[in-house]
Amino acid sequence: MDNDRPKSFPQGEQLPVPYELASLHAHQEYSLVQVGGISIGGSKPAVVAGPCAIENMKQALSIAWEVKRLGADLFRGGVFKPRTSPYSFQGLGLHGLHILGEVRLETGLNTVSEIMSIAQADMMMKYVDVLQVGSRNIQNFELLRCVGQMRKPVVLKRGFATTIEEWLLAAEYILSEGNDKVILCERGIRTFEPYTRNTLDLSAVALLKTLTHLPVMVDPSHATGLRELVIPMARSAVAAGADALMVEVHTNPETALSDGRQSLYPKQFEQLMQDINLIAPLVRNKRDSRNESVGVSPALLSA
Amino acid sequence: MDNDRPKSFPQGEQLPVPYELASLHAHQEYSLVQVGGISIGGSKPAVVAGPCAIENMKQALSIAWEVKRLGADLFRGGVFKPRTSPYSFQGLGLHGLHILGEVRLETGLNTVSEIMSIAQADMMMKYVDVLQVGSRNIQNFELLRCVGQMRKPVVLKRGFATTIEEWLLAAEYILSEGNDKVILCERGIRTFEPYTRNTLDLSAVALLKTLTHLPVMVDPSHATGLRELVIPMARSAVAAGADALMVEVHTNPETALSDGRQSLYPKQFEQLMQDINLIAPLVRNKRDSRNESVGVSPALLSA
Amino acid sequence: MDNDRPKSFPQGEQLPVPYELASLHAHQEYSLVQVGGISIGGSKPAVVAGPCAIENMKQALSIAWEVKRLGADLFRGGVFKPRTSPYSFQGLGLHGLHILGEVRLETGLNTVSEIMSIAQADMMMKYVDVLQVGSRNIQNFELLRCVGQMRKPVVLKRGFATTIEEWLLAAEYILSEGNDKVILCERGIRTFEPYTRNTLDLSAVALLKTLTHLPVMVDPSHATGLRELVIPMARSAVAAGADALMVEVHTNPETALSDGRQSLYPKQFEQLMQDINLIAPLVRNKRDSRNESVGVSPALLSA
Amino acid sequence: MDNDRPKSFPQGEQLPVPYELASLHAHQEYSLVQVGGISIGGSKPAVVAGPCAIENMKQALSIAWEVKRLGADLFRGGVFKPRTSPYSFQGLGLHGLHILGEVRLETGLNTVSEIMSIAQADMMMKYVDVLQVGSRNIQNFELLRCVGQMRKPVVLKRGFATTIEEWLLAAEYILSEGNDKVILCERGIRTFEPYTRNTLDLSAVALLKTLTHLPVMVDPSHATGLRELVIPMARSAVAAGADALMVEVHTNPETALSDGRQSLYPKQFEQLMQDINLIAPLVRNKRDSRNESVGVSPALLSA
């Protein structure tokens, strides 16, 4: 096992950075990831919304129509659920994928769902437009290579205790297989603070915009675990420069099979969309700020 | 020593919350802290700017005039500096206070500076308008009681590893001495991530607005340690609902005696002011969002 | 994704504990895991030793003969290496397994090696006597189920930021597939402290002996990352009640392909064996202390 | 405020280490701290025992006689209690000091108690033989200088999130005032793990023995918060090379005013004394291991 000691910024002779394909320096411009007609990484933040888990056709369709009506770009819903306990609800599996397919057919929304193993790759290819690699698999290198070979867009969630450098190197596994459609998703890190589920690290978002050309997404739902904090943290994420958001929305959170406590009501999601659509245009043109940032080498950052 | 195990949200019979004077529930409306003609906690974010340390009269005055011209509300500058090593520059002390007094006289800016011990209280009363209690003193209870008795506005910085509950209880020490002019300042917590100096916890800002009536300030300079991140994190903080910002600005960061790496150039500070003045009006009326929040008891938050 | 907020001890009506098969309460006596003629979990601590990575036949055999001569019970050596970067040495793979097979044949030492994916299962069955699941795969649930079905003894390493409860639930995945030969291996957690590679959590070892019947191993090499600390931490682990140790030993650490900095010289390993053989008999009879512990329910622990 | 980013080991030109007076390199032999007839830092671990807080004369005397009978070297008991909440029991203050004086007079045990402020210095001089600086005051530099000038032995507890380097620099504040009688006390750091109160960092103990000449103490009571873990962690601490232990003992923990859950019954303390007296002689001669360590420069440690 190689060294898991968190690394400082590379300095002097240690340059270039170890994540060559992911680095902004090598690429020189920000990447756009296209999903259907949606661009992730452009001037308007893309919004992925939906329930934590697909529960049944009716639930999925009703939420999908709601979030579409309110402006969501993509529909999310878990069908293979990573569960801490072997005795918890593990997701609907293939049946859930069929539901995702139906949602796409009926609403026209492209779909995002988590892939947990190589064995699911063939099934996912058919029904899912964006593959999500979850926090628990951030260093499941075989799965990273697999999604690299699948060539579909990938949302790569940061692990509970993954450094920014390790996260970029996990992206590098996918990129090095020839798939450059990687979206990095900040979803909170584990700290000593018990009031929130995790600690959302928005500095990482701003820092990533100086280090990598890949689009950056933020998931305020899993980060905070508290519905009350999702709207302000969504605003905050966009203000920090996030290219996309992933939020949990449920028409009936009280009965949700998982994570109801952090799911927005549709009315709250509407508010969120209004808020971020006001803020996004005010975030200074990223291409300009990139030009400033490109001049800042990691070596200088650590000086 | 009482139990330092981080506590979950109080539930059921454990209510009411342990920070009675600080709680929003007890107070029912957000507090305004007045400093000279400046209101902290109102509709416009207040901005505290200046160098990390006061170095000499010329440096202090030139920075003060610059930040005043660009819209800062208060001038900050350390004269008693908490230093990890006994061999590092410890600040100008009383001479630095004289400089702060001169800055106030010439520019009309009220001053913010850190108090490290009771022995400094008399000196501080004369030259400093807002007392800062630093992260290292978050549980220096004698100092908390002292600033409580001084009745001046206090900026209470969160400690490196202080939970939100412990922070509110530290505020409670000040409040219980009869001083209700407390401003909570988030400045980053210590985590495993080595790229940033600390991890800025903006969820704490949004959560505090549901728990306490006290104004909340954010210091993106100490939180990140990197100049490049200060502007995006300032935007983010305002979008999260922060009532005030504290930022380090230096006319010549390369020669700064401390923290030059995180100090903004005046031109960057100008950009920051433009950015936050655009975003602040878009953050939904806090009084409205409070009304929603007040209905959410901590017991429900942890359900 | 289910809730990743660290959980407090279960209280009152939340009992029984969620890791039913792993719990000491349900099992009532400590389990022994047998590997060849070696018992893990008995009165004498078992010692697993060898290089971080298998490099070639000569290196593997020379280290194996050395550690056997000095009293090691099992030989460890990685052939599939989880690497943070896709560009780092990834292990010898199948060729490495052949070397492990040869080491076993010549020295008679049973072998321990990491399995990273289901695709490696068939190969591993033939050459490896104890499967190791690495920290990065602690919540790779598919792999956990796979090693559950393989029915070989499993060393389950704690993740970088895995709580004790999550770790026991990961073990529960393996146990629930019918494989009860699980050994929990503490290897350090990620904290803010930069001097050591990780922070070795020996309280977890003592606490596990009150919560589970599974044997507990400690890896002081990965935990500290510093050769100087391996001997004292090995002593400490045994004194805390560890049933087994895993240590990296190399005949030529300076040229090791990975982790040379934390590998012991054979002479140091000899000292380690002497030290722990003196301390182990003094650790009060575990069966006795268990009897005390069994009376302590998790509910009381959190009172 | 100077940079609070955790520092890596000093390398190359950054040597010498910043804690010159505390460094083993500069001092070349381990220091002994004498308290009455007791040596801390010698071949036998010194044991400090007593209640968390002094409650009344009868409680203090009965516990003191018990721990003396069972082999404790020094008596601990808090009279000024740092409390997270202003509404909690704050200790008996001067009356508690009188009790400590009486305990010393009657039992002959020297006393250890926490000093929280300079205002307490005169009172403490009379009744307390060893001053304790608590975790919350690890960077209360004024208090550090004060105990430096008092010239009494000082137990310096590590802060919740204090790095080893910051801790040694806090000791340096005391040493630089001319007081070389400093004992470093590891008491657990704050991490994500919720089952234990803190995470006891025993690697720090072994590492300190390579970095500093100052004696190292371990407090397993505050570190774990669970009585069941105190004996195994005390054994572990001695096996790691600790020179001293501080443990909470109470004749009636159920009624203790604070921290009853982690206090040992006298019968358990007796077991602890037996255990450590068996293990201590087996820990290889520290002077020998020092000689090995002295050859290892911090620069090499980080290579």
A41's torsion region: left (phi>0), alpha (psi -120 to 50) or beta? left
CA dist C21 and C176 (Å) reads: 7
Give the number of C-alpha atoms closer than 13 A to the C-alpha of residue A223, restricted to the C-beta side.
32
CA dist B184 and B169 (Å) reads: 11
CA dist C51 and C49 (Å) reads: 7
Nearest Cα to Cα of residue A133 among A111, A151, A157: A157
CA dist A202 and C179 (Å) reads: 42
Task: Give the mean model confidence (pLDDT) for residues B220-236.
Answer: 96
Task: Give the mean model confidence (pLDDT) for residues D228-237.
Answer: 97
Quick one: pLDDT band at residue A26, thresholds 50, 70, 90?
A: confident
Is B295 exposed, middle or buried (CB count within 10 Å of its CB: 0-12, 13-18, 19+)?
A: exposed
| Nearest Cβ partner for D258 among B2, B134, B142 | B2
Is B69 at the interface with chain D, CB within 8 A?
Answer: no
Condensed to tens digits (0 to 9), the pLDDT of residues B233-277 reads 999 999 999 999 999 999 999 888 777 889 999 999 999 999 999
Mutate which of B8, B187, B202, B289 to disrupt the A interface (most A C-beta within 10 Å)?
B202
CA dist A220 and A227 (Å) reads: 9
Contact, A96 vs A103, CB < 8 A? no
Task: Give the mean model confidence (pLDDT) for residues D44-49.
Answer: 97
Tokens found for residue B257? 């005696």
Contact, C186 vs C217, CB < 8 A? yes
User: With a CB-CB cutoff of 8 Å, which residues 8-67 of chain D face chain C?
Assistant: 8-9
Least confident of A277-291, B67-81, C112-126: A277-291
Q: Give the number of other Cβ atoms within 10 Å of residue B29's Cβ.
A: 10
HEC per residue, chain A:
CCCCCCCCCCCHHHCCCCCCCCEHHHHCCCCCEEECCEEECCCCCEEEEECCECCCHHHHHHHHHHHHHCCCCEEECECCCCCCCCCCCCCCCHHHHHHHHHHHHHHCCEEEEECCCHHHHHHHHHHCCEEEECHHHCCCHHHHHHHHHHCCCEEEECCCCCCHHHHHHHHHHHHCCCCCCEEEEECCECCCCCCCCCECEHHHHHHHHHHECCCEEECHHHHHCCHHHHHHHHHHHHHHCCCEEEEEECCCHHHCCCCHHHCECHHHHHHHHHHHHHHHHHCCCHHHHHHHHHCCCHHHHCC
- Note whether D4 contacts B87, CB cutoff 8 Å: no
Sign of CA dihedral A7, A8, A14, A20: positive
Task: Give the mean model confidence (pLDDT) for residues B43-65.
Answer: 97
Condensed to tens digits (0 to 9), the pLDDT of residues A257-285 reads 777 889 999 999 999 999 999 999 999 75
Structure confidence at residue B162 (pLDDT): 98
Is A196 at the interface with chain B, CB within 8 A?
Answer: yes
Task: Give the mean model confidence (pLDDT) for residues C110-118.
Answer: 97
| CA–CA min distance A221, chain C (Å) | 11
Between B204 and B5, name the one with better pLDDT: B204
- Quick check: D18 pLDDT over 70? yes
Please state the separation of Cα C279 from the chain's center in Å. 20
Q: Which residues contact D213 (CB under 8 A, 6 or more apart)?
A: D22, D23, D24, D27, D28, D29, D30, D31
Task: Give the mean model confidence (pLDDT) for residues C117-128.
Answer: 96
Structure confidence at residue B184 (pLDDT): 98
Integer CA distances (angstroms), C165 to A105, C30, C237, in order: 42, 18, 20
CA dist C226 and B208 (Å) reads: 42
User: 0.90 cut: is pTM over it?
Assistant: yes
Query: Contacts of residue B163 in chain A, CB cutoff 8 Å?
Result: 192-195
Nearest Cα to Cα of residue D208 among C196, B86, C262: C196
- Quick check: B157 pLDDT over 70? yes
Is A192 at the interface with chain D, CB within 8 A?
Answer: yes
- A263-284: b or e for each residue (b if 16 or more CB lie within 10 Å)? bbebebbbbbbebbebbbebbb
Q: Which residues contact B259 (CB under 8 A, 6 or more apart)?
A: B52, B53, B221, B222, B248, D1, D2, D3
Integer CA distances (angstroms), D74 to B71, D70, D103, D169, in order: 60, 12, 11, 27
| CA–CA min distance B282, chain D (Å) | 33
- Note whether B85 contacts D222, CB cutoff 8 Å: no
Is B254 exposed, middle or buried (CB count within 10 Å of its CB: 0-12, 13-18, 19+)?
A: exposed
Tokens found for residue C65? 């003969």
- Quick check: A297 pLDDT over 50? no
Query: Contacts of residue D239 in chain C, CB cutoff 8 Å?
Result: 232, 235-236, 238-239, 279
Quick one: pLDDT band at residue A302, thresholds 50, 70, 90?
A: very low
CA dist C86 and D7 (Å) reads: 28
| Nearest Cβ partner for A193 among B6, B241, B271 | B6
The average confidence (pLDDT) of chain C is 91
Quick one: pLDDT band at residue A255, thresholds 50, 70, 90?
A: confident
Query: Contacts of residue A201 in chain B, CB cutoff 8 Å?
Result: 191, 193, 199-200
Query: Contacts of residue A81 in chain C, CB cutoff 8 Å?
Result: 1-2
Tokens found for residue A74? 């993509």
Is B6 at the interface with chain D, CB within 8 A?
Answer: yes
- β-bridge mates for residue B183, sequence order: B155
Structure confidence at residue D3 (pLDDT): 66
* Secondary structure (3-state) at B251: coil
CA dist B266 and D29 (Å) reads: 52
Condensed to tens digits (0 to 9), the pLDDT of residues B280-303 reads 999 975 544 444 443 334 433 443
Q: At what angle do helices D286-294 and D202-211 cross, to 10 degrees?
A: 70
Q: Give the residue from chain B lying closest to D190, CA to CA.
A: B161
Task: Give the mean model confidence (pLDDT) for residues A243-264.
Answer: 91
Contact, C111 vs C127, CB < 8 A? yes
Contact, D189 vs C191, CB < 8 A? yes
Q: Is the peptide bond before D16 cis (omega within 30 degrees of 0)?
A: yes
Structure confidence at residue C17 (pLDDT): 85
Quick one: pLDDT band at residue A76, thresholds 50, 70, 90?
A: very high
Q: At what angle do helices A227-240 and A202-211 cross, to 10 degrees?
A: 30
CA dist C222 and A3 (Å) reads: 8
Between A5 and A225, name the one with better pLDDT: A225
Task: Round to the nearest angstrom and report the end-to-end CA distance of chain B.
Answer: 30
Condensed to tens digits (0 to 9), the pLDDT of residues C139-166 reads 999 999 999 999 999 999 999 999 999 9
Structure confidence at residue D260 (pLDDT): 81
Task: Give the mean model confidence (pLDDT) for residues D251-260.
Answer: 85
Contact, C82 vs C114, CB < 8 A? yes
| CA–CA min distance C195, chain A (Å) | 9
Condensed to tens digits (0 to 9), the pLDDT of residues C221-274 reads 999 999 999 999 999 999 999 999 999 999 999 888 777 889 999 999 999 999
Is D279 at the interface with chain C, CB within 8 A?
Answer: yes
CA dist D106 and D64 (Å) reads: 10
A121-135, B19-33, B287-301: which has the highest mean pLDDT? A121-135
- Quick check: A4 pLDDT over 80? no
- Quick check: D12 pLDDT over 80? no
| Nearest Cβ partner for B82 among D119, D141, D172 | D141
| CA–CA min distance B193, chain C (Å) | 8
Helix (H) / strand (E) containing B34: strand B33-35
- β-bridge mates for residue A156, sequence order: A133, A184
CA dist D99 and D205 (Å) reads: 33
Is A12 exposed, middle or buried (CB count within 10 Å of its CB: 0-12, 13-18, 19+)?
A: exposed
Q: What are phi and psi of C126, to 5 degrees?
A: -80, -40
| CA–CA min distance B194, chain C (Å) | 9
In this complex, which chains have at least 3 CB pairs below 8 Å with chain B? Answer: A, C, D
Place of tokens 């050591």: C196
- Quick check: B151 pLDDT over 70? yes
ipTM of predicted complex: 0.92
Query: Contacts of residue C268 in chain D, CB cutoff 8 Å?
Result: none
Task: Round to the nearest angstrom and report the end-to-end CA distance of chain C.
Answer: 30
CA dist C4 and C165 (Å) reads: 11
Task: Give the mean model confidence (pLDDT) for residues D72-85.
Answer: 96
Query: Contacts of residue C1 in chain A, CB cutoff 8 Å?
Result: 52, 78, 81-82, 114, 134-135, 222, 258-259
| CA–CA min distance B240, chain A (Å) | 5
Least confident of A27-31, B188-192, B255-259: B255-259
Is D178 at the interface with chain B, CB within 8 A?
Answer: no
| CA–CA min distance C232, chain D (Å) | 5
Nearest Cα to Cα of residue D282 among C271, C247, C270, C48: C271
Quick one: pLDDT band at residue B3, thresholds 50, 70, 90?
A: low
Contact, C247 vs C275, CB < 8 A? no
Place of tokens 């608590």: D134
Is A254 at the interface with chain B, CB within 8 A?
Answer: no
Integer CA distances (angstroms), C228 to A8, C75, C289, D257, in order: 23, 22, 31, 42
- Quick check: C292 pLDDT over 70? no
- Quick check: A286 pLDDT over 60? no
- Quick check: D294 pLDDT over 70? no
For B87-175, strand residue ranges (E) read: 110-114, 130-133, 154-157
CA dist A238 and A202 (Å) reads: 10
Give the number of C-alpha atoms closer than 13 A to the C-alpha of residue D58, restricted to the C-beta side.
1
Between B8 and A203, name the one with better pLDDT: A203
Q: What are phi and psi of A18, to 5 degrees?
A: -75, -10
Task: Give the mean model confidence (pLDDT) for residues D205-224.
Answer: 97
| Nearest Cβ partner for B233 among A200, A202, A271 | A202
Structure confidence at residue C5 (pLDDT): 78
- Note whether C225 contacts A3, CB cutoff 8 Å: yes
| Nearest Cβ partner for A198 among C4, C119, C137 | C4
- Note whether D4 contacts B160, CB cutoff 8 Å: yes
Place of tokens 């659509």: A277
Query: Contacts of residue B219 in chain D, CB cutoff 8 Å?
Result: none
Between C222 and B17, name the one with better pLDDT: C222
Structure confidence at residue D68 (pLDDT): 98
CA dist C74 and C108 (Å) reads: 9
Q: Which residues contact C93 (CB under 8 A, 6 or more apart)?
A: C79, C80
- Quick check: D97 pLDDT over 70? yes
Query: Contacts of residue A195 in chain B, CB cutoff 8 Å?
Result: 8-9, 163-165, 204, 207, 301
